[in-house]
Amino acid sequence: MTADDERLTRAIAAIDAANADDPNTIVVPEPGRPSGVTRPKELAHAELMTAWVTRLRPDASDALLLAARAHHIRRWVVPRPSYPEGRAGYLRWRRDLHERHAADVGAILDEVGYDAATIARVQDIVRKRNLTRDPDVQVLEDALCLVFIETQFAELTAKLDRPKMIDVVRKTLKKMSAEGRALALTLPMPADDRTLIEEAIRE
């Protein structure tokens, strides 16, 4: 293992340790466990993000891998209800989260010995600066949307009526690249859910 590989491993371990404290949980697939396994939500989310990023970009840079792992680091400490309801409150919450995530991962990367340029690059990806113009940020966004479909789609489908769900899917797909949208249709899902995604793509 090279020094760079060792540093990347230590950084990911530190990010995972921070996310392991998440009191919220999610059930994720696991080989040999038909009903899945319950994991801390942000820890599982980060692992799924890493898997999608490496699939979308097999030659992903360390900066992109670190951003994928830390994009929601300790997200639960700033819950949505702590901000006003409505779109303005939501946008402020999301903006503040991006800054907090960037600061948290920056502190970890500094501690394990990354240089200022790499830290700044990771933080820019976490903040999703220049989406659609920065290929790394687009890969991160594609991975985020794929994880959303993978882990939250069925739950939302049960809660929302069809027109509202199509609107949610349409907004999600709009943020994705053509490759990301194609991958979304390869995910295992009930036929009705697949039809819903196909309908949203056509509109």
Q: Does residue 133 sit within a domain?
A: no
Count other C-beta atoms under 10 Å from residue 105's C-beta. 27
Claim to verify: residue 195 and residue 114 sit in the same structural domain: no
Q: Does residue 91 sit within a domain?
A: yes
**According to the model, what pLDDT value does residue 112 have?**
97
Nearest to 197 by CA among 159, 142, 140, 153: 153
Report helix, strand or coil for 190: coil
- Helices 62-70 and 135-159 cross at an angle (nearest 10°) of 30
Domain that holds residue 5: 1-127
| Boundary-marking domain end, from 105, 127, 149 | 127
| Boundary-marking domain end, from 72, 97, 127 | 127
Claim to verify: residue 122 and residue 169 sit in the same structural domain: no
| Boundary-marking domain end, from 59, 92, 127 | 127
Question: How many domains does the chain fold into?
Answer: 2
Claim to verify: residue 123 and residue 176 sit in the same structural domain: no
* Alpha helix stretches (DSSP H) within the chain: 3-19, 41-56, 62-70, 87-112, 116-126, 135-159, 162-174, 178-184, 191-202
Claim to verify: residue 144 and residue 117 sit in the same structural domain: no
**According to the model, what pLDDT value does residue 128 have?**
92
Check: CB of residue 102 under 8 Å from CB of residue 126.
yes
Claim to verify: residue 4 and residue 92 sit in the same structural domain: yes
pTM, to two decimals: 0.91
Claim to verify: residue 149 and residue 119 sit in the same structural domain: no
Chunk the chain into consecutive blocks of 10 residues (it has 203) and report each block's average pLDDT, rounded to whole numbers.
93 98 90 86 97 97 98 96 96 96 98 98 95 92 94 86 88 92 89 86 75
**According to the model, what pLDDT value does residue 69 have?**
98
Q: Does residue 176 sit within a domain?
A: yes
Q: Does residue 45 sit within a domain?
A: yes
**According to the model, what pLDDT value does residue 35 have?**
79
Dist. CA 88–CA 91, nearest whole Å: 5
Claim to verify: residue 190 and residue 117 sit in the same structural domain: no
